[in-house]
Amino acid sequence: MPDISEYVFLDKNKLDFFVSKLNTRQRVVAPVRKGVKSYAFAEVPSAKDISWKYIPTILPPKKYFMPQYETIQKFDKSKRTWETVVSSEPIVILGVHTCDLAGIEFLNAMMSSAPCDAHYRNRKANITLIGIECLDYCDGSASCAVMKNELPHGGYDLFMTEMKQGFISHVGSDRGRNIASDSRIFTPAKPEHIRELEELRARKKDIFKPEINVSHEELKNLFSQSFESNMWREEMEKRCVSCGNCTNVCPTCYCFDLRDELDLSLTTGERQRVWDSCQNETFAKVASGENFRKKKGLRQRHRYMRKFYYPVEKHGLYGCTGCGRCTRTCMAKISLKETINKLAEEQQNSKEPVLNQ
Ligand code: SF4
Ligand code: SF4
């Protein structure tokens, strides 16, 4: 039974007031419709602008933690100065799905392991996260249940679940407690709210079923044994067009390039950090011209290994949240779930099955 003292209740008719109050102190961003079927996190002046039911946004909320282009240093040769730029602003990200909360938790772990990334840490310190629970599958590309991300696991300040009359909200931090302490907006949760939440979660068990033929526990072994699979040298080599979309939209990809931009006098300039993709042919090219992953199929193998094997070995964490963005965006219609099922089938047909080892 959840601890009722950790929950507050937000009546639906106070939603507008809630968003306007948040907006008085900082920028508020939330999912909004973009085109016919797509959504994006963008600034929302009022609650009416928010799409509470949405399929994962084109880009995940990681864009607020590590923007695609970021100036991290400025230099002036004439003054012999080299200044580190650490910028951040208070932002509330409202309506974050559980898969994206898991993506942020993964990035937090990567960016805080030595050497800690000061740029990421400073932005994170100013970001308030308010999650929203998915009560249904967003679409067939998602695999949050197999990645065990259909339920919240923390990493938020407040987490809202929509019910008949309003939103029951779990307080996840002191910052969340501070927001929830406004008695004009929130009231203490009642036992009937907790009962309704438990009924909703029980119903979710029938809706969110593992979407692939491999369990969460088996995934790491599957990938460790699939390193030499023909999947990479044949199917991925033929199909992938190396557009890099799958990595750009992924909530857990954090590779970047550093670029020094000089002014025309060659005196002042800045160092920029720009998202990079392991799917670009030049990504693994080194000074001598050697390229460690020249083949597209091997670059795809690297992408999958970075989700399902390497981070599990090193940090005990899967690098896939099951958001489904890579499948939705792939120009070659490569599906993450299909790839995993095919690898599992290949293993099962091999002489020495390795699943469950
Ligand atoms: S690998 Fe695909 S499904 Fe997994 S987190 Fe990245 S974009 Fe989402
Ligand atoms: S989105 Fe598809 S085609 Fe583009 S690099 Fe990724 S797997 Fe290849």
Domain holding 229, by residue range, is 216-348
CA 226 to ligand 2 centroid distance, Å? 19
Q: Are residues 123 and 174 in the same domain?
A: yes
CA 300 to ligand 2 centroid distance, Å? 8
350 band by pLDDT with thresholds 50, 70 and 90: confident
Dist. CA 226–CA 235, nearest whole Å? 14
Q: Note the pLDDT of residue 108.
A: 97
In a domain, 356, yes or no: no
336 pocket-lining for ligand 2 (C-beta < 6 Å) = no
CA 326 to ligand 2 centroid distance, Å? 8
**Of 207, 229, 247, the domain-final residue:** 207
Which tens digits make up the pLDDT trace of 68-109? 999 999 999 999 999 999 888 999 999 999 999 999 999 999
Q: Are residues 192 and 89 in the same domain?
A: yes
**Of 207, 241, 265, the domain-final residue:** 207
Q: Are residues 272 and 325 in the same domain?
A: yes
207 pocket-lining for ligand 2 (C-beta < 6 Å) = no
- The count of domains in the chain is 2
Residue of minimum CA distance from atom 6 in ligand 2: 246
Q: Note the pLDDT of residue 351.
A: 60
Q: Note the pLDDT of residue 352.
A: 57
Q: Note the pLDDT of residue 356.
A: 45
Q: Note the pLDDT of residue 229.
A: 96
132, β-bridge pairs: 160
In a domain, 249, yes or no: yes
Q: Are residues 150 and 180 in the same domain?
A: yes
174 band by pLDDT with thresholds 50, 70 and 90: very high
Q: Are residues 32 and 167 in the same domain?
A: yes
Mean of all residue pLDDT scores within the chain = 95
Q: Note the pLDDT of residue 207.
A: 95
What percent of the chain stands above pLDDT 90?
Answer: 92
Q: Where are the beta strands (DSSP E) in the chain?
A: 7-11, 27-34, 38-43, 69-76, 81-84, 91-96, 127-132, 158-162, 166-171, 186-188, 256-262, 268-275
pTM metric for this prediction: 0.94
What percent of the chain stands above pLDDT 70?
Answer: 98
Compute the average pLDDT of residues 226-246: 96
- Does pLDDT of 37 surpass 90? no
In a domain, 357, yes or no: no
**Of 207, 224, 259, the domain-final residue:** 207
Work out which ligand 1 atom sits closest to the CA atom of 143: 3
Which tens digits make up the pLDDT trace of 277-291? 999 999 999 989 999
Query: What b/e readout covers 181-208, taking b as 16+ CB neighbours within 10 angstroms?
Result: eeeebbeebeeebbebbeeeeeebeeeb
